[in-house]
Structure 1
Amino acid sequence: MSLRTQLNDTLTEYLPANPKEAIKGTELIRLIRMKLDGNYSDASLRYHFSIMSCDPTSPIAKVEKGQGYYRRTAPIPALSSAQEIYSQYQGRLDDIQGDQAQVDHAMMRIRKFRAIVNKWCDVNGRFPFPFREPFAADAPIGNLWKFPEMLLVDWESREGDEQAMPLRKLKTQLGLPPFRLHAARLRILPAHHSFREDFFQTLSASVWAQGGELIYAAPIEDEALADSIRRLSIAFGIGVTTFGLTAEILDDLPRPANILNAHPRETEALMERLDVTRVSAVKSRSHIDWSSLEALRGDSTEVDDLLAWLSESADVGSMSPYGGGE
């Protein structure tokens, strides 16, 4: 087994998730050497750390303007991100063809927005489940209409809420879930040329859930566009929310890993940057279409992960954040 393969398999165990707790190369070498098959020099290991930290698919990332390494956040799903970039540039990909820096810039905005949505959910007592496998580079394009980027779970009573126990127990006896599931589509920029596709993908990907939510990073400044979106929402019940994050604000935000691992005061400062506006409210259905969800199991093993997480939460009577993170 090559050294790089071994490092890909073992680095995650030793890398901290928070860049502020980054581990120095010397210490990382000391820890990881015990797991490696072969006698590799410090120079060889440092070289591989450096090369891999520049690869967005590897588990190791290097601290900017400092020393040390941390665990890279999960990669952005390729299929969904490609559509997002295509939408941002109004389908004129020739405008950025060959400009990798511009593509990387667009990708960073997408990653920051997803991290912000995760943190916002955490602050507001919502539990996101990210879908990744259905949007892999080799996934069928139809998955964009079958799966949301995130499933947002609303637990109907907080842990320790004794007054809610009788109702929760009754629901359990009646076979009703103690949570609500909303399928969410995340997009950076609302625009006349793409809002219908955004909207109806959200609708299609939420048929099995109790509702669908379309979440935009940027505000909707065009009133005609806002009216068009509201009319669709009234007709089909999809909720639309904007976070008020312009391109300039997104560029000014910390890196995704810093957002996800922000301390309480930092989180408060991040939330103050948001201007969350409910353009239209979601119409939440009382039931989950379990047969439709079951039909998706053959398209992604992540459906099994979702069901296991929901089942475990229902068994213990409370919900914890999904371990997959963002």
Structure 2
Amino acid sequence: MSLRKQLTDALPDYLPANPQEAIKGTELIRLIRLKLDGNYSDASLRYHFSIMSCDPTSPIAKVEKGQGYYRRTAPIPALSTAQELFSQYQGRLDDIQNDQGEVDHAMMRIRKFRAIVNKWCDVNGRFPFAFREPFKADAPIGNLWKFPEMLLVDWESGDGDEEAVPLLKLKSQLGLPPFRLHAARLRILPSHDTYREDFFQTLSASVWAQGGELVYAAPIEDEALAEGIRRLSTSFGIGVTTFGLTAEILDELPRPANILNAHPRETEALMEKLDVTRVAAAKSRPHIDWAALEAVRGDSAEVGTLLEWLSASTEAGRVIPLDDGE
């Protein structure tokens, strides 16, 4: 097995998720040697750390200012990201295909927005479940209409209250879920050209859940656009929320890993940058469409992961931590 493959497999066990707790290269070399087959020099390992940290698909990332390495957050799903870029540039991808810097800049905004939505969920007692596998590069384009980027789970009791356990179990036995599932589509920029596609993809991807939510980073400043969105919401019950994050504010935000691992005071400062506006409220259905959920189960193994997490949390009477990145 090549050194790079060995490092790719072993590094996640030794790299901290928080960039502020980055591990120095010397210490990482000392630890990683225990997992490697072969006698590699320090210089060879440092070279691989450096090269891999520049690769967005590798597990290792280097802090921007200073020394040390940390674990890279999960990559953005390729299919979903491609559509997001297509939407932002209104289909004129030829305008940027030769400008990798502009593409990277747009990708960073997408990653930051996904991270800030995760952090906002944490602050507001919601539990996000990100779908990634259905949006990988070789996935069918139809998955954009079957799966949301994120499932927002609202539990009736997520604090581990022992008195809530019998009620949660009883509701489960009666076929009444002790949680509410809303399928969310995340988009950076609302526009007249794309809002209908954004809206109906959200509607389609939420048919098996109890509701759907379309979440935009940027504010909706055009009243005609806002009115068009509200009319669709009135007809179909999809909720629409904006976070008030202009391109300039997104650019000023910390890197995604710093957002996800922000301490309480840092989180408070991040939340102050948001101007969350509910353009239209979601209409939540009382029941999950289990037949529709079963129909998409074969299209992604992550549906099974979701069901296992929901089942285990219901049985425990508390929300079991779900190890997830941006």
TM-score, normalised with respect to structure 1:
0.98
2:127 partner amino acid: F
The 1:56/1:160 distance shift into structure 2, 3 A limit, reads: closer
AA of the residue aligned to 1:145: W
Alignment of 1:215-234 (within 5 A): 215-234=215-234
Match of 2:253 in 1: 253
The structural deviation recorded for 1:65 is 1.4
Matched, 1:236 2:236: yes
| Deviation by residue 1:277-302 (Cα, 9 ceiling, x = unmatched) | 00000000000011111111211111
Match of 1:121 in 2: 121
* Aligned residue runs from structure 1 range 1-326, under 5 A: 1-159=1-159, 161=161, 167-326=167-326
One-letter code of the match for 1:140? P
Question: Could you list the per-position Cα deviations for residues 171-210 of structure 1 after superposition, in whole angstroms to 9, with x for gaps in the alignment?
Answer: 2342211000000000000000000000000000000000
Indicate conservation of the 8 Å contact 1:128/1:321, yes or no.
Answer: no
Structure-2 change in CA distance of 1:133 and 1:19 (3 Å): same
- 3-state SS, counterpart of residue 212 of structure 1: strand
Structure 1: stretches of 5+ with no match in the other structure: none
Contact 2:184/2:212 (CA < 8 Å) preserved in 1? yes
Paired amino acid for 2:221:
E
Residue 323 of structure 1 deviates from its aligned partner by 1.2
For each residue in 1:43-86, what CA deviation from the matched residue of structure 2 results, as whole angstroms up to 9, or x when unmatched?
Answer: 00000000000000000000001100000000000000000001
1:249 partner amino acid: I
Distance 2:37 2:158 in 1: 48
RMSD: 1.2
| Shift >3 Å, 4+ stretches | 160-170
Aligned partner of residue 101 in structure 1, secondary structure: helix
Deviations 1:95-139 (A, max 9, x none): 112100000000000000000000000000000000000000010
Counterpart CA distance in 1 for 2:296 and 2:160 is 34
- Structure 1 residue 320 displacement after superposition: 3.3
Asked if the contact 2:169–2:315 (Cα under 8 Å) also holds between the matched residues in 1, the reply is: no
CA contact (8 A) 1:127 1:321 kept: no
Partner Cα distance (2:307, 2:166) in 1: 24
| AA of the residue aligned to 1:146 | K
Worse overlay, 231-240 or 162-171: 162-171
1:166 and 1:138 map into 2 onto residues whose CA distance is: 44
Structure 1 distance, partners of 2:313, 2:20, is: 31
TM-score normalised over the length of structure 2: 0.98
Q: 1:264 to 1:25 in 2, by over 3 A?
A: same
Instruction: Say if 1:128 and 1:322, in contact at 8 Å, map to a contact too.
Output: no
In structure 1, distance between residues paired with 2:301 and 2:293: 12
SS at match of 1:154: strand
Give, in whole Å, the separation in 1 of the partners of 2:168 and 2:139. Answer: 39
Q: How many residues align?
A: 326
Percent of aligned pairs with the same residue? 84
Residue type at the aligned position of 1:157: S
Determine the C-alpha separation between the residues in 2 that align with 1:317 and 1:163.
Answer: 9
Gapped regions of structure 2 (runs ≥ 5):
none
Amino acid paired to 1:230: R
Cα 1:169–1:38 change in 2 (3 A) is closer
